[in-house]
Amino acid sequence: MANEKTPFSLHMKDIVIVKPSKPTPCVTLSLSTFDNNPALNILCHTIYVYQANLDYPNGQHQLDPAHVIKEALSKALVYYYPLAGKIIRNDDGKLRIKCNGDGVPFLEASANCELSSLHYLEGIDVPTLQKLLFDNPSQDETSEHALVFKVTKFLCGGFTIGLGLSHAVCDGFGASQFFRALAELASGKSEPTVKPVWEREKLVGTILKEPLKLPMDETLRAASPFWPTTEISHECFNLNGDIIQRLKMRLMKEGECVDDSFTTLETLGAYVWRSKARALELSSDGQTLFCLAVGVRHLLDQPLPDGYYGNAFVAANVVLTVKELKERPLSYVVKLIKESKKLACNNEYIRNSINMLETMIQYNIRIEGTGASMVLTDWRQLGLLEEVDFGWKASVNIVPVPWNMFGFIDLCLFLAPSNLDPSMKGGVRVFVTLPKASMPKFREEMEALKVMLDP
């Protein structure tokens, strides 16, 4: 709600199509094996929140953010011209991008309230967030457009950018590279600092001859009494730096770690994995999978060039029975995650991962969301809250809007804290989706972490 009396509402302008500002190549481009992962053929939506720029001299009108971003987008599409094209499926079943300079759908809206009345989108409900995105009429959550934009202006002079970007074309690093280029062009640079590189053929696998060995035997996976269901909840949990540091220290002491320290990702990843298993009441004799996305841009024997913006990550996997996950010391679980990360950095492992995925695509083997897995992706290193300035200083908040990857419930995001709460410096926002009936138990687990570690 905008306030007690007036419901939050938007006035929408007509959709415009933003085209590249200069002619671009007319070609059809192939995508990599990673890009062709069926789980990634979705439009990922993220909202960036900007406060009004109070540095303008009195009486001087602020620039119109929608106009500034539209102009910058037109320039950026000269470099990122595939994003102005259409995603098509080839006769061989693989995705391609038809680059024809068609352009990007862009929607401008005005809200009837100030951003502060929506708490700068901190802890706001998903239906409200969805109003700040470009509506996708498609039912299966895929879109032929690789990119869509919506800029919403608020009465305070602040604004939000609702960005929808095809995960088949960019991973998190690729998306942040594009977004930074957009900001650079908006703030007056003549070209982006990092030039985009396509070269998707570098990450194309070959079909394996030997039988596939998946990380977890699907017949042994744990079951939850809460899944499947259509009633799901999305929630973001704020954990400050002190809590995380005390958890690390406690687990390192428990695990008698002298030479090797635990990272935030490993420590919190283990805790959240166990908490999800408890909340979902997974069957104790069944297996559960922890799957961490590990970026491989600079790990290959021939590192990918700077500017590569396609998907470039492999899965670091740990499989345990639910009983082991609940009863073993948490420090033991952290060590397993640490070892799996090291293994995933091995060049042979990376190449085998590409070949496995190519084989799964060929034989149409898909892994669906079941709640027995936790797929963790870490957005904290993308730098989007510190570096991306369109002329209104850095964004104060970034909010992912849930997308249906692995049935929603397997996916977990670690996000940098917003810039709204100084006490969260060094902290992490944990974004989870769970069956509605199991969310209270997960919330208890997050609260228990704070109490358990009280000095």
Phi, psi of 209 (to 5 degrees): -80, -40
pLDDT tens profile 83-134: 999 999 999 889 999 999 999 999 999 999 999 999 999 989 999 999 999 9
Please give the Cα distance from 380 to 98 (Å, whole number). Answer: 32
Question: Residue 282 has which token pair?
Answer: 């997974």
Residue 441 CA from chain centroid, whole number = 24
Name which of 449, 442, 381 is nearest 409 in CA terms: 442
3-state secondary structure 172-221: HHHHHHHHHHHHHHHCCCCCCCCCCECCHHHHCCCCCCCCCCCCCCHHHE
Give the list of residues 6+ apart from residue 118 with CB closer than 8 angstroms, or none: 2, 8, 124, 128
Homologous superfamily assigned to 218-452: Chloramphenicol acetyltransferase-like domain (3.30.559.10)
Identify whether the C-beta of residue 96 lies closer than 8 Å to the C-beta of residue 88: yes
pLDDT band at 138 (very low <50, low <70, confident <90, very high): very low
Residue 397 CA from chain centroid, whole number = 14
Homologous superfamily assigned to 10-203: Chloramphenicol acetyltransferase-like domain (3.30.559.10)
Q: What are the residue ranges of CATH 3.30.559.10 in the chain?
A: 10-203, 218-452
Helical (H) or strand (E) element with 143 = none
| Active-site residue set | 167, 389
Query: Model-level pTM?
Result: 0.92
Position 57 scores a pLDDT of 45
Left, alpha or beta for 153 (phi > 0: left; psi -120 to 50: alpha)? beta
* Largest interatomic CA distance in the chain: 71
Position 231 scores a pLDDT of 94
pLDDT tens profile 139-173: 344 458 999 999 999 999 999 999 999 999 999 99
Q: Across all residues in the chain, what is the average pLDDT?
A: 90
Position 360 scores a pLDDT of 94
Judged by average pLDDT, the poorest of 44-58, 212-226, 423-437 is 44-58
Report whether pLDDT(336) > 70.
Answer: yes
Mean pLDDT of all residues in 197-206: 96
Residue 17's identity, in one-letter code, is: I
pLDDT tens profile 285-295: 999 999 999 99
Position 267 scores a pLDDT of 96
Identify whether the C-beta of residue 44 lies closer than 8 Å to the C-beta of residue 377: no
* Length of the chain measured in residues: 455
Please give the Cα distance from 327 to 339 (Å, whole number). Answer: 20
**111, 137, 148, 149, 150 from 133: Cα distances, Å:** 13, 12, 9, 7, 6
Say whether the peptide bond before residue 228 is cis (omega within 30 degrees of 0). yes
Residue in the structure block whose two tokens are 């804290």: 417
